[in-house]
Structures are given as structure tokens and as C-alpha cells.
Amino acid sequence: MTEQTHGTPGTSSASPARFAVPGRIAVSEQVAAEWQTATLTEVRRETPHASTFRLAVPRWAGHLPGQHLMLRLTAEDGYVAQRHYSLASAPDDSGYIELTLDRVPDGEVSGWFHTVARPGDSIEVRGPLSGFFAWPGDRPALLLGAGSGIVPLMSMVRHHRARGLSVPLRMLVSARGPEELIYAGELGAETTAVFTRSAPAGVPVGRMSAAHVAPLLAEQPPGGWEAYVCGSNGFAEHASRLLVAAGQPVDRIRIERFG
Amino acid sequence: MNVTRGFTGRRRVSRPGLPPGQYDAGDDWPVLSAEVTPDLAPAHWSFRVDGLVERPHTWNWDEAHALPGSAYEGDIHCVTGWSKFGVRFGGVSLDAFLAVVGPHVSATHVLARSHTGYTANLPLTDLTGGRAWIAWDQAGVPLAPEHGGPARLIVPHLYFWKSVKWIAGLTLLDHDEPGFWEGNGYHERGNPWEEQRYRGD
């Protein structure tokens, strides 16, 4: 794949695009168009405010880490609520997918998941969607996330482990405190956690900073890092500026913002 | 219809302006750009219209502001599901820019591009007749960088990914050419009233 942005025939202005970020993979039209029934098989509490929902989707076409799906719930009167959620599970979990959802105050859809849903319930999903934030496991990956922004990044970490990939992968993740760190028990040497409100003894409390990012960019792998940033818009703005300031090329920073 | 057990959903409020599958974001205005927000000062902003036109032209900040002002007041709709009611964008109607360059009769589509390199494709007819703007104000204040400031395209009758932030130019074409999200599986037109979210919808 070339990293050039599409030059448009007939474009005479051609100030070369400085940082158009190319998509990583082609997306199946058929898969994206079709709604499928998914059956909830398990609910796992991750933190006081986040749980993981395991779904059986027998005809799931597979996904790449970083992709998301669209999900819909239907009320008895036909009212439908739909949302986009990142996939948390690695692609090899054949026929099953996992989502990790924050419990949002007054969340219409997340509220149903956290207070009503139980194994055996069925919902509808379509996907996987969008190749933009996908990581096929081919290039060194530098992952920066905050809060539930860790979810699509964890799919990448899990994929990296499950396949025993040798391509470098590092994750910097920000959480309010250790008890709010999603997947805490699963994180390994690839991950550095940053705590913004409370931290274990001996660990500083504070925002993600240049001091966290600079060492990772100092140890550039061959070919450089592909950076993936996920979280609130405030975090995404902050983290992407840290990356740019530390020398990461803007056309190699992909951002998934919640909204 | 596959009813979800125990799901009632929000209180039903009839909102005539709400397209299918959308919810009212209220005072929120989520930011969903996929790239780093550029540090782009008005003095460094420019807007060019070229391709199948009689007179390709580039405007700088002051030249664009010298065109007759025009505003959009109404609603916007994002493909991720939120709609925002009663926004007011100030700028210049795209018709004013197109009148200067003179689109060729063979022009049918447009590739809009951002100073970041982001692109979106649109049928030319979606950009004419008072339905599209280059905007630099929102609610009377300069558009914030994360919302596309100093200037962005506004095409409010289509999903908002078509309203290219940090707008750099339009190239008129005699064929459709997918832009950034369109190449990533999203719909080529993106009409929220027909729920054209993904290719094939």
C-alpha cells in the first residue's frame, strides 16, 4: 500500500496534502450493510463503571483490531436506538465478539446494557465498519488511550499476543485511578499506565505528558511508529499534540474520538 | 422487528427535524475528526476552486471575506448518530465562489479537500442553489480549530462528514471519486433522511 494521498486528476493547486491519513484496509460492502442478531453470552465487570459484554454472532465475518460496529436496540413500539462501539476482542475469537461499555449517566443504550441486559438477550449488530483505525498487525504500533479509549487498543494488544507478533507495540493508557483502569489485570510490559486522580504508592499522579511520550519516540523501531489515539476529544487533542511535539509525523497519527 | 427485551429507550419527543436513527445532542457538539487538528492561522488559510471550471481561482482570507455574506441557520446531522438543532454558521454561500470560477457544463461532481489532506466527494448539485457555505463563524464567534476553524465547508442537508473542516479547495470533476470516509466504507452521498450511512445503504 502506498502512503500517498490521492492526487486528483485536474487538480492544479496541489499544495501537497501534509497529513491526510490513509485508510489501512479495504472494507467489505456486503458485511457493512447487513444487520445480524447477536446473543449476549456473558457479562464481566471490568471496573466500577465499565463492563464487558460477550456476544455470540455466528455469522460474524471477522474484523481487524481497531474496527467498530454499529449496534441497535428496538423497543416494543418500534423505536430504535443505535450506537457505534469499538470491538474489544481480538479477531481470532471465532463467532464471538466482545464490547466494553462505560456506564454513562442517563445513557440510553449503555444504560440498558448495564442495568437490564443478561445472558440470553439478543440485540442486532452490523459490521465490522471502517478501515481507518484498523491495525492489521503489520507495522510497529504506538497506542495512546484514555478511559474506555483503551477498548480498540486492547483489541490490538490482544491480537499482538494471540498471534505472537514480533512487530513492536507499546501502549500508554490514562485512567483516573487504578480501580478505573480497564483490563488492569491483563496489561503487561507493553503498557504504561498514567493516573490522573489517584495512584498506587510511589506512582506519580498527573496528566499524560511529554515525559511519557518522548522515551517511546526516542526508541524508534525500523520504519517508525504508526500511532493510534483513542479517547474523549479533550484527550485526543492533548495526546495528538504530545505526539506531534515529540516528532511523530502527523500523517501517521490516527485518531478515534468519542462522540 | 426484533424487539430488545426490556428496552424502552428515551422518552419519545416528536422532533420533526430529526432524521431516522438520530438523537438530539442538545448542547453538545462532538468532535470526530480522524486527524490531528491543524494549527492553521487565518493568514495562512486559502481556498481554491479548480478542475472543470472556466477560471480557476484562489481566495485568501480577506478576499473570501469580501464576498457577500450569507448564513445558515438550522440543524446538522452526524453519521455517528447525533443531530444538533439550531446552529448558526456565518460565511459566504458557495454559489458566490462558483459564480467567479464558472463551472463547466461537464462538471457533475466535486472533490472537497481540507488543508489536512482529508477529502469528501459530493454531487455538484448538492453544493449549489443556496445549500452550501464556506463558514468561519458559529453562533457569532470564530469557528474553533477543532470544529474546522478558521473556515470549513457546510453542507447541512448531508451527513456532516461531507462538511469538510479546514477547507482548502474544491475540484470540479465529470465523475464521482471517493473521498476519505467514502473510501473507508461510507456512503457516497450521505443523505440523513434516507439513512445513507454506509455504502449500499
Domains belonging to chain A, first-starting first, are 29-129 (2.40.30.10), 141-257 (3.40.50.80)
Encode burial over B57-92: b for 16+ CB neighbours within 10 A, e otherwise.
eebebeebeebeebbbeebbbbbbbbbbeebebbbb
CA atoms of A66 and A128, how far apart (whole Å): 10
The three state secondary structure string of B8-68 is CCCCCCCCCCCCCCCEECCCCCCCCCCCCCCCCCHHHCEEEEEECECCCEEEEHHHHHCCC
pLDDT digits (tens, 9 = 90+) for B163-193: 999 999 999 999 999 999 998 889 999 999 9
CB distance B75 to B55 below 8 Å? no
Report CB contact under 8 Å: A32, B111: no
Q: Which of A74, A131, A233 is closest, CB to CB, to B3?
A: A74
Chain B interface disruption, residue of A1, A3, A8, A70, most B CBs within 10 A: A8
Q: A131 to chain B, minimum CA–CA distance in Å?
A: 6
Biggest CA pair distance of chain B = 61
pLDDT digits (tens, 9 = 90+) for B75-121: 999 998 999 999 999 999 999 999 999 999 999 999 999 999 999 99
The stretch A138-144 carries a mean pLDDT of 97
pLDDT confidence of residue B183: 87
Res A4 pLDDT > 60: no
Res A222 pLDDT > 80: yes
Q: With an 8 Å Cβ cutoff, is A230 touching chain B?
A: no
Q: Which of B7, B38, B82 is closest, CB to CB, to A73?
A: B7
Q: With an 8 Å Cβ cutoff, is A6 touching chain B?
A: yes
Selected residues 32-71 of chain B with any CB under 8 Å from a CB in chain A: 32-38, 48, 50-52, 56, 58
Q: How large is the C-alpha radius of gyration of chain B?
A: 17
Can you read off the three cell numbers belonging to residue A16? 501537497
Chain A interface disruption, residue of B184, B194, B201, most A CBs within 10 A: B184
Q: With an 8 Å Cβ cutoff, is A244 touching chain B?
A: yes
Can you read off the three cell numbers belonging to residue B154? 457546510
ipTM: 0.88
DSSP state letter for B186? B
CB distance B40 to B122 below 8 Å? no
**Cβ count near A210 (within 10 Å):** 13
Q: Report in angstroms the alpha-carbon separations of A6 from A17, B177, B188.
A: 9, 10, 17
Domains belonging to chain B, first-starting first, are 44-194 (3.90.420.10)
DSSP state letter for B120? E
